[in-house]
Structure 1
Amino acid sequence: MSSPENVKLTSSEMGSLWDAYINHTHNICVLEFFKAKAEDDEVSKVLDHTYKIAIELKEKCKQKLQSENIPVPTGFSQQDVDVSAPRLFPDSFALMYIKNMSRVMVAACGLMYTMSTRKDIRELYHHCLLQATNVFDEVSDVLLEKGVYTRPPFIEPPKRADFIEDKDYLNGKNLFGDQRYLNSIEISHLFANIEANVIGNSISKAYGQTADMQEVREFMMNAGQLSEKIINKLTEYLTGSHLPAPMPSETQVYSSSHPPFSDRLMMYELSVLTAAGISDYASSLATSMRNDLKTLYMDLFTDTTKLGGKAEKLMIENHWLEQPPQQDKILY
């Protein structure tokens, strides 16, 4: 039986290692800044633990790439972060940021794990998945202890198991023709998408006021406007069912205009958040039953895809977007 190292990496494994390495280098830079500004001991502990995990995972990806003679991407480094810059967010936002970051990592590592064939690569992503869930648990516990965890809405449980009796249910109507309330699955997706956009909106504002290039500032302004539009639209659905929407106060942005990160890093981060949003809206579209919600998610998917396209063009124009491994032209 051949060892894993005797079998070439598949395109999926090569691409996922390449992408993961860049993402870990980005996370390291952001965590370095948050670590330098943290004042709360519990927040510092979470940041230190998450930072060590990001370093470990970056090195594991780098070793795998090097062992396969695959060029290691440039990624991000000390030149992309200025830890001496004034703080942009309160400590509580750092916790919310890590919670969202670990949520995205759980989804990414889970996908990379199922797309991998070689045992050693599957083991790597299994380890990555465990680390991401550990971070999510840790930061969630601290948020709960501090009383700043934003919970999804509570609803009364049904009195019995039941079946849908009328196709009007899909049109958002109940048996009597009135607007039906959202079901628990629809609520969960609305809440999660609002929460992600609240965080993205704060990041867009902070980066918009600290970016060096005018083009980047304008992009961040557009990203912030889109996130506000999405928050307002999704909130209307929750309040229409007499449910509260997440509006945490910990997302305030301080007034500093001194850039903590390079424009390249900030644009990369927004492109990652945009990609995560596209994935979230696709999942929400697939699991929501009300047709008006499906239409809404299709619109959000389109708007967010357009924003992602603008980010890619801006990054290419400034030579900031690294090219993933790809098949060479075959000459006949």
Structure 2
Amino acid sequence: MSHEMVKLSCAEISTLWTLYLNNSMSVYVLKYYLEYVEDPEIRKVIAEAYDIASDNEQEIKHVFWKEQYPLPIAFSENDLNLKAPRLFSDTFKLFYVLQMAKIGMVTYSGCLASISRKDIRSLYQTFLLKTVDVFQKVTDLLLEKGLYVKKPYTTIPSSAMMVESTNYFSGINPFVDKRTLNTIEVTHLSMNIETNQIGMMLSTAFSQSAMNEEVREYMVKVKSLAKNHIHTFIQTLTKDDVQGPMSSDFSITASTVPPFSDKLMMFHIGLMSAAGIGNYATAAAASQRSDLVIKYEKLSSEAALLAKEGADLMVKHRWMEKPPSTADRNRLAEKPQEL
């Protein structure tokens, strides 16, 4: 049986639906970025990211049409205001593309691993490879410009070592000294500082440009939470005399004119929150000191509660699309039979 004759599975439908919304949002964010970018090298990578998001959206749209599956509403020109003044610096845009490429690589690889139909696998593989290419180019450009936020360094050990005691995993017992952070833990703490910095800057920009008062208030809460989490991670590093990653000089302007609809901004923050919670789960699983695991669980709960508040707000204003669902057999059974 050819792959064209095989119906889309739940995994294939859900991933196509999710990726369509994500790429649709990215198209309009990157389109706005291109309106106000001065550095020609930064413009080039943003333009490439825009073309990829646009192509991906069209590829997924073609699959929906071919399968005669309802197309998600997603986003349109109504969610973009190209007449809005400059809101983000060029440097921030470059870091933004880097962060979205990281999210894209994780998302595409996860989607690829969950589906079986050959044509969809081929499609996701193409998406992943294009995203990896953008990640490489943005990283190279940041390094060339001296803007890349480098991770902390450490001394090189003289030899390989074994864990000699279960105290290695201690962290919450006040009667047992905490060991110093290992390089795996330092890496995750550093990465979560960087991602929260992007989230903090993005929510700051959205808080001053959103039209709806509830959205503005929500963005302020997101900004505050990101700032608190950054402080927690930096404090954890500095206790072990490890320097946290230093953010580069990226900024937002004082413009209060919204470049994006409130719907798009809320969706975007929801996407960033979901990615952040996923990062915390990965970090908790990789960390071997018990206090770090508990800390990540606490921060994840805080992020999840705030994300739920955002989802409620989106439902209230009819901004949230319902994901494809399975049939409600009980409800169908209650329906009067048609002759």
Q: Does the pair score TM above 0.5?
A: yes
Which residue does the alignment assign to 1:225? Answer: 224
Which residue does the alignment assign to 1:295? Answer: 294
Which residue does the alignment assign to 1:196? Answer: 195
| CA-to-aligned-CA distance 1:213-254 (integer Å, 9 cap, x gap) | 000001000000100010000001111121111231433221
Structure 1 position 93 matched with structure 2 position 92:
yes
Which residue does the alignment assign to 1:157? Answer: 156
Q: Is the 8 A contact 1:199 1:251 kept in 2?
A: no
Q: Is the 8 A contact 1:15 1:324 kept in 2?
A: yes
1:67-86 residue pairs with structure 2 within 5 A?
A: 67-86=66-85
**Which segments of structure 1 move beyond 3 Å, counting only runs of 4 or more?**
176-179
| CA-to-aligned-CA distance 1:274-294 (integer Å, 9 cap, x gap) | 100110111011010111101
Code of the residue aligned with 1:198 in structure 2: it is Q
Q: Alignment partner of 1:251: what SS?
A: coil
Structure 1 position 111 matched with structure 2 position 113:
no
Which residue does the alignment assign to 2:33? Answer: 34
Q: Bigger shift: 151-160 or 194-203?
A: 151-160
Cα deviation for residue 169 of structure 1 reads 1.0
Which residue does the alignment assign to 1:132? Answer: 131
Q: Is the 8 A contact 1:198 1:251 kept in 2?
A: no
Task: Calculate the TM-score normalised by the size of structure 2.
Answer: 0.95
Cα deviation for residue 178 of structure 1 reads 4.2
Q: Is the 8 A contact 1:66 1:72 kept in 2?
A: yes
Code of the residue aligned with 2:154 in structure 1: it is I
Decide whether aligned partners of structure 1 residues 89 and 250 sit closer, same or farther in structure 2, where only a CA change above 3 A counts: farther
Which residue does the alignment assign to 1:322? Answer: 321
The whole-number CA distance in structure 2 between the counterparts of 1:267 and 1:201 is: 14
Q: Is the 8 A contact 1:198 1:247 kept in 2?
A: no
Which residue does the alignment assign to 1:259? Answer: 258
Structure 1 position 305 matched with structure 2 position 294:
no
Structure 1 position 9 matched with structure 2 position 3:
no
Cα deviation for residue 329 of structure 1 reads 1.6
Code of the residue aligned with 1:298 in structure 2: it is E
1:57-72 residue pairs with structure 2 within 5 A?
A: 57-72=56-71
The whole-number CA distance in structure 1 between the counterparts of 2:72 and 2:136 is: 31
Q: Is the 8 A contact 2:105 2:131 kept in 1?
A: yes
| CA-to-aligned-CA distance 1:92-112 (integer Å, 9 cap, x gap) | 111100000000000000000
Which residue does the alignment assign to 2:272? Answer: 273
The whole-number CA distance in structure 1 between the counterparts of 2:69 and 2:194 is: 38
| CA-to-aligned-CA distance 1:13-45 (integer Å, 9 cap, x gap) | 001001111111100000011110100000110
The whole-number CA distance in structure 2 between the counterparts of 1:317 and 1:150 is: 39
Q: Alignment partner of 2:249: what SS?
A: helix
Gap regions ≥5 residues in structure 1:
none
The whole-number CA distance in structure 1 between the counterparts of 2:288 and 2:47 is: 42
The whole-number CA distance in structure 2 between the counterparts of 1:194 and 1:182 is: 16
Code of the residue aligned with 2:261 in structure 1: it is S
Cα deviation for residue 328 of structure 1 reads 2.1
Code of the residue aligned with 1:206 in structure 2: it is A
Code of the residue aligned with 2:325 in structure 1: it is Q
